């Protein structure tokens, strides 16, 4: 592995995941503020590693493969944590996001085997940025919830939240209704963008699924 500065920044994103999970699962305001700081820093390294790679002319195949993988590990770890921290976030949303990311990883592997490049799009980059921002906002909501005692009681009264119930909840007399539905709405948008981005990748790179799958097979 090429342990240059950009790749070390990418690896730091993965190394910080256990610390982030420990902090986010500790139900105190202080710990979750630190979890927020860690996630913001890790998200910033996503920009920083690419920038330093171009600036220092240290772009490598390892970095090109590891960078999106680190993003996926970071995002997926946060989303799985949210499943445990907020009972209103449905499992199917997280499954859709993970399935899309696994599919893109397979496609990236096939592209490498074929000696070609996976065609990316602005939608994919926008999706990643929106995921990061969405997760940051959700963590901020958790911090606010921690500071208000009655919010968790109201959440526990709702066994599961569905999209058709959102308007009903917003029209209800629940005092903290926006704090209740905000993570769900953000997750719904993230899921939609993720699925749309995945379909775009498939449409753009569908030839990767057609044999031969290696450069040797073409000879």
Nearest to 69 by CA among 96, 106, 114, 40: 106
pLDDT digits (tens, 9 = 90+) for 170-213: 666 666 777 888 898 899 999 999 999 889 888 888 787 777 76
Q: Indicate whether 218 belongs to any domain.
A: no
Residue 156, phi then psi, degrees to nearest 5: -65, -20
In this model, does residue 148 exceed pLDDT 90?
Answer: no
Asked if residue 11 is part of any domain, the answer here is yes
Q: Is the pLDDT of residue 15 over 90?
A: yes
Tally of domains within the chain: 1
DSSP 58-108: ---HHHHHHHHHHHHHHHHHHHHHHHHH-TTS-HHHHHHHHHHHHHHHHHH
Distance (Å, whole) CA 212 – CA 170: 53
What does the block give as tokens for 182?
């905000």
Q: Residue 88 domain-assigned?
A: yes
Name the nearest CA neighbour of 124 among 46, 214, 28, 211: 46
In this structure, what DSSP letter does residue 212 have? P
Q: Which of 8-17, 155-164, 167-176 has the highest mean pLDDT?
A: 8-17
Other Cβ atoms within 10 Å of 111 Cβ, number: 16
Q: What range defines the domain where residue 112 resides?
A: 5-206
The enclosing domain of 20 has a CATH number of: 1.20.120.1760
**Which pLDDT score, from 0 to 100, does residue 54 have?**
83
User: Does residue 211 belong to any structural domain of this protein?
Assistant: no
Give the residue-averaged pLDDT of 75-80.
Answer: 94
Q: What mean pLDDT is predicted for residues 44-51?
A: 86
Is position 51 within any domain? Answer: yes
pLDDT per residue over 107-146, tens digit each? Answer: 877 887 777 777 777 787 788 889 999 999 999 999 988 8
What pLDDT shows up at residue 115? 74
Contact between residue 72 and residue 101 where contact means Cβ atoms under 8 Å apart: yes
Domain membership of residue 214 (yes or no) is no
Is 111 among the domain residues? yes
């Amino acid at each position: 592995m090429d342990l240059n500065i950009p790749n070390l920044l990418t690896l730091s994103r993965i190394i910080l995941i256990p610390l982030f999970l420990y902090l986010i699962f500790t139900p105190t305001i202080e710990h979750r503020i630190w979890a927020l700081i860690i996630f913001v820093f890790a998200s910033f390294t996503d920009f920083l590693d690419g920038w330093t790679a171009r600036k220092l002319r240290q772009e490598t195949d390892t970095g090109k493969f590891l960078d999106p993988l680190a993003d996926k590990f970071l995002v997926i770890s946060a989303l799985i944590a949210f499943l445990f921290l907020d009972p209103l976030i449905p499992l199917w949303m997280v499954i859709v996001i993970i399935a899309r990311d696994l599919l893109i990883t397979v496609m990236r592997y096939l592209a490498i085997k074929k000696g070609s490049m996976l065609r990316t799009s602005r939608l994919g980059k926008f999706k990643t940025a929106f995921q990061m921002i969405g997760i940051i906002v959700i963590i901020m909501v958790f911090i606010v919830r921690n500071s208000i005692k009655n919010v968790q009681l109201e959440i526990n009264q709702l066994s599961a939240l569905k999209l058709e119930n959102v308007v009903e909840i917003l029209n209800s007399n629940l005092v903290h209704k926006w704090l209740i539905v905000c993570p769900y709405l953000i997750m719904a948008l993230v899921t939609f963008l993720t699925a749309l981005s995945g379909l775009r990748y498939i449409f753009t790179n569908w030839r990767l699924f057609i044999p031969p799958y290696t450069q040797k097979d073409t000879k």
